[in-house]
Chain A
């Protein structure tokens, strides 16, 4: 089957939370049928590489198939966290959208969020 490469944002949404110097990013398939594809392609290794410039000391992925969701926890990526970081975004709230720039391969013809927007 033909495949195309698209940003994660086309098939998934995400939210960042912070605790101390760690961030968690929940990643959710818009369509539960894409969950397996996310599990296969959005791996710990790829996420660690995607955030390598923040030097995570540990990356864990938790799977929640009943929610068609995954939870990533990245340790030591917030420059010390809310009380220490010099970032304007002390909490790292924007990081979910950085994850959504990672690309995934989907079957050609997959319903994308962008396409939905254009047809409205």
Chain B
């Protein structure tokens, strides 16, 4: 990647949109970036809210872990090509342990026979220390329970990542940063934008927003047969944004892949997880898409322009996770004539046996399930019918695991003691992590980068 004041556009590809995304997607993105030539980067966004809390728990169990578990599978096929072609890799795959992730990448490079890459880690997001907890307590007055505390991480922005790239990093490993900041950072390094170039920062932030969920802008999370058809969905190509010096971008996707980039896919993703379109808050800028325009330039080529930026806010968002007790769920199926009536009878049995000690959520899969609510209001309003393939699901949460274990015994007991023909009982439980969010003054939580040497 070229650094400094450039007028040539920067191509940023997306290699992953969440932890668990398809690991066979990045090579086509990298091939396309190489064919295109010119400065480029690839980002990996792999850190949903809950993913980081689970990574913190993994690190507590083993201090060498707590980074993205798919990291080796993501980078092994592309690391050599990226390093050889100057494609900067930026990822929040450091999760709860960026230094361990950096060591893993150094080991991978050595194993592949590559010269040791310049790897930087960005830190400052983790507020789990005693000092961090004091700050959280200030920002969550009266609502913070130290005994249940699991972890806290603040959303950092793009400028520390950009500084690492300017200093020569070929790979930048982060923990919690705002998702679009992963894309904005190489653009800042490439174009030499300042912290007050609001319109440019906002434009590239929205480019990052379009990229951060992987295939969601290139035909994923979109197809509705007969209404919105997508070719080759089984091989959907991951997106690439060509960012211009004014912050506008052209969205495309990896060549020789399936999927679709058109005005509809881009508009849907532009508003994804947005509240007020005039004020999309990130650590770097307040982006305003009120007058944004989406324009099809050709097949799988869409331009986003007209994004405006306003000064960033003085605070950063912090997620605080606490021990939230347990969640248990169990399922059993009924099929054939009378299936719905038998499933409803099983539901009634569970309610009578457990309803006093647990608040139960029911689903009748095949009749009324995911559109329903935990209060069972939609289910109650759904008239009994004659569905012939119904899976009953029951779920509950409680601090006391013994009550959850009781729920998990009651559903398999329906095999022998419930309505006729019940089969396929499955049960599971998991620890619940409850989330509180707060705003902390940004000057109290500075981020910084450092280069990592092999240990």
Contacts and interface: CB of A to CB of B under 8 A. Distances in A.
Interface stretch (A39-47, A85-93, A102-110): A85-93
A15 B275 contact: no
A71 B437 CA distance: 23
Contacts of A14: 268
A19 B227 contact: no
Contacts of B276: 62, 73
Interface stretch (B79-87, B136-144, B240-248, B367-375): B367-375
Contacts of B293: 66-67
Interface stretch (B60-68, B391-399, B410-418): B391-399
Interface string B89-112: 000000000000000000000000
Contacts of A53: 373, 377-378, 381
A64 B290 contact: yes
Interface residues of B, number: 54
B50 A24 contact: no
B123 interface: no
A96 B292 CA distance: 23
Interface of B: 48-50, 221-222, 224, 226-228, 264, 267-278, 289-294, 306, 321, 324, 327, 329, 361, 363, 369-375, 377-378, 381, 393, 395-397, 432-435, 437
B226 A117 contact: yes
Given A17-B274, A19-B275, A24-B273, A81 B329 contact: no
A14 B395 CA distance: 29
8 A-B pairs with least C-beta separation: A26-B271, A17-B273, A89-B370, A117-B226, A86-B361, A86-B395, A79-B374, A15-B268
Contacts of A4: none
Contacts of A28: 264, 267-268
Contact of A94 (B277, B361, B371): B371
Contacts, number: 123
Contact of A113 (B226, B273, B274, B327): B226
Counting chain B CB atoms within 10 Å of each CB, the highest count among A15, A26, A54 belongs to A15
30 contacts: A13-B227, A13-B268, A15-B268, A15-B271, A17-B273, A20-B435, A24-B272, A26-B274, A30-B264, A53-B373, A60-B275, A62-B276, A67-B267, A67-B293, A69-B267, A71-B274, A71-B275, A73-B275, A81-B435, A83-B49, A83-B324, A84-B324, A84-B397, A84-B434, A86-B374, A87-B361, A88-B363, A88-B393, A95-B371, A114-B226
B277 A62 contact: yes
Counting chain B CB atoms within 10 Å of each CB, the highest count among A9, A18, A19, A71 belongs to A71
A38 interface: no
Given A71-B277, A83-B432, A88 B50 contact: no
Interface residues of A, number: 42
Contact of A85 (B277, B292, B374): B374
Nearest to B321: A83
Contact of A17 (B267, B271, B393, B432): B271
Given A54-B373, A86-B329, A89-B370, A24 B435 contact: no
Contacts of B432: 83-84
B6 to A, nearest CB: 29
Contacts of A79: 373-375
Given A15-B269, A67-B293, A79-B373, 15 more contacts: A9-B224, A13-B264, A14-B268, A26-B268, A53-B381, A64-B292, A66-B291, A69-B267, A69-B271, A71-B277, A83-B434, A86-B327, A87-B373, A88-B393, A93-B221
